[in-house]
Amino acid sequence: MSIEFIPNRFQGQTAIVTGAGSGIGRATAIRFAREGARVIATDVVADRLDQLTADFPDLDITTLVGDVSLEDTAQALVTAAGGTVDVLANVAGIMDAFLPLAEIDDATWERVFAVNLTSVMRLTRAVLPGMIEAEHGAIVNVSSEASLRASASGVAYAASKHALNGLTKSVAVVYGPKGIRANAVAPGAVKTNIEAPFKSAWAQERLGPLMAIIPTFAEAEELAASITWLASSDASNVNGVILPVDGGWAAI
């Protein structure tokens, strides 16, 4: 796989990227920065952010360690951006051990919703006033194949990502007239550090065969390419879309 960068595509813009220490978030932060953006990169794992800036000392990447599900982190990110946020990429997310409804515990349910959904609501709420004032902004959320079908995760993850699609469309419709676009990618399987063990024997028996149809395991950079495209002016008339980036899984 060879992906070309587009020099200066985001020159002069500021992009916040969550989950930037690993996987899709890291690839997205690197791509925005390589294409000229000033990137505010956040993750809950400090070492990974240190590695990101060590690997790319020449790129304009500011890191902020924090739990993106907390309001304090959302406010700190807006402060770190220090002005207009042109792009918000809500990438951070966690899985749910494929737990089905009869086996889900409250802590897993609440944590998955906090990270996959509430964090996006809080951070988007924090950046929207600036975007509304600027009459300009692109928000790209990272949803999942599990937002399109029930066979790709447990119940908490599926429900949180279905809800994230609704959040994305709501923001698109309500704030489109203010010059703000909100879209999401729905990745299929991607080679990252996300933990996805089956902790339910029944879920493994039921979902395992259904997941055998997955056509490809993508590289994180392929998702970054779609995320940056949705954030770019080439997607100026794309708003409220949930874009499967899954090698065709959604079409099966």
By annotation, the residues acting in catalysis are 157, 161
Cβ proximity to ligand NAP, 70 vs 134, nearer residue? 70
> Is position 24 an interface residue for ligand NAP (rule: CB under 6 A)?
yes
* 189 makes contact with ligand NAP (CB under 6 A): yes
| Residue 25 in the binding site for ligand NAP (CB under 6 A) | yes
Structure token digits, residue 234: 């080439």
Q: CA torsion 150→152→48→112, rounded to 10°?
A: 30
Query: Looking up tokens 């949705």, which residue turns up?
Result: 230
Closest among 12, 45, 17, 19 to 31, alpha carbons compared: 17
Our finding on whether 108 is near ligand NAP (CB under 6 A) is no
Residue 246 CA to residue 185 CA, distance in Å, equals 9
One residue of 64, 156, 163, 190 binding ligand NAP per CB under 6 A: 190
Single out the residue of 51, 62, 67, 169 in contact with ligand NAP (rule: CB under 6 A). 67
Window 132-171: contact mask with ligand NAP (x via CB under 6 A): ----------x-xx--------------------------
Phi, psi values for residue 42, rounded to 5°:
-130, 150
Q: Which stretch binds ligand NAP (CB under 6 A): 50-58, 61-69, 165-173, 208-216?
A: 61-69
3-state secondary structure of 142: strand
Q: Compute the distance between CA of residue 20 and CA of residue 203 in angstroms, rounded to an integer.
A: 30
How many residues form the binding site for ligand NAP (CB under 6 A)? 28
Phi, psi of 230 (to 5 degrees): -60, -30
- Tell me how far apart the alpha carbons of residues 21 and 122 are, in angstroms, rounded to a whole number: 20
Binding to ligand NAP by residue 192, rule CB under 6 A?
yes
Q: Which residues bind ligand NAP (CB under 6 A)?
A: 18-19, 21-25, 43-45, 48, 67-69, 91-94, 115, 142, 144-145, 187, 189-190, 192-194
